[in-house]
């Protein structure tokens, strides 16, 4: 191909070459700006938080944390999502334990959640992050069922509402722990 064929062809080649440079840069800028917008809508640190495997909401066995040493003082669970409930809350720290779904054999109800048997030490304690994300299964006022098809809470409520519930009654939930703190709580609806 003769590039000296004329100024028009050389101009087209320069334009095409500049598009090869400009378009990827523009696409990268658009992706970056979209990423910044979605990262801004997440709690601090959530943009870098890895995706954890979600356990079954109504799983029938206790989740284990094989790397946790329960013989030492009560401490945070390793990073991940635990099906559990908070058993005690004080001064920004929640104590929690794994739970499992027990089907009702009498047929009167669908079943219920239960914690570990008495004497089985499976408790954890973690600070509740200042920017914790809380999804309620019964609405923020506790009067309306707000769940997804899987029985998980879908109504986002405030941190103060979460703390209030932690202080009062055991609420089954998927509890996400990241870097030693509780960063997300998604209630599980109990029929």
- The pLDDT of 19-39, averaged and rounded, is 38
Could you report the per-residue pLDDT of 116-154, keeping only the tens digit for each? Answer: 988 777 888 999 999 999 999 999 988 899 999 899 999
**Tokens, residue 161:** 């509402």
- Selection from 78, 94, 137, 85 nearest residue 116 by Cα: 85
Contacts of 19 (CB under 8 A, 6+ apart): none
81 beta partners: 176
Could you report the per-residue pLDDT of 33-48, keeping only the tens digit for each? Answer: 334 333 333 445 455 8
The answer to whether the CB of 132 falls within 8 A of the CB of 183 is yes
pLDDT for the residue 80: 92
State the pLDDT confidence band at 29, using cuts at 50, 70 and 90. Answer: very low
- Selection from 67, 51, 87, 97 nearest residue 168 by Cα: 87
- The pLDDT of 59-87, averaged and rounded, is 85
| pTM for the predicted model, two decimal places | 0.72
pLDDT for the residue 107: 75
- The pLDDT of 168-172, averaged and rounded, is 90
pLDDT for the residue 72: 76
Q: Output b/e per residue, 91-113; b: 16+ Cβ within 10 A.
A: eeebebbbbbbeeeeeeeeeeeb
pLDDT for the residue 71: 67
Q: Which residue has the higher pLDDT, 108 or 76?
A: 76
pLDDT for the residue 25: 41
Residue 51 has pLDDT above 60, yes or no: yes
State the pLDDT confidence band at 162, using cuts at 50, 70 and 90. Answer: very high
């Amino acid at each position: 191909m003769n590039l000296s064929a004329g100024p028009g062809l050389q101009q087209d080649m320069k334009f095409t070459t500049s598009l090869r440079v400009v378009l990827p840069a523009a696409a990268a800028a658009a992706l970056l700006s979209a990423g910044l917008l979605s990262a801004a809508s997440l709690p601090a640190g959530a943009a870098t938080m890895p995706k954890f495997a979600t356990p079954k909401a109504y799983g029938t066995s206790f989740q284990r944390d094989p790397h946790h040493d329960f013989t030492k003082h009560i401490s945070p669970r390793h990073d991940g999502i635990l099906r559990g409930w908070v058993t005690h809350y004080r001064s920004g720290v929640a104590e929690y334990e794994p739970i499992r779904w027990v089907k009702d054999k009498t047929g009167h109800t669908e079943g219920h959640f239960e914690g570990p048997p008495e004497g089985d030490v499976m408790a954890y304690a973690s600070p509740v992050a200042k920017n914790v994300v809380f999804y309620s299964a019964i609405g923020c006022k506790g009067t309306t069922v707000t769940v997804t098809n899987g029985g998980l809470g879908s109504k986002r409520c405030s941190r103060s509402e979460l703390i209030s519930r932690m202080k009062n009654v055991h609420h089954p939930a998927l509890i996400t722990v990241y870097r030693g703190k509780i960063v997300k709580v998604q209630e599980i609806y109990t029929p």
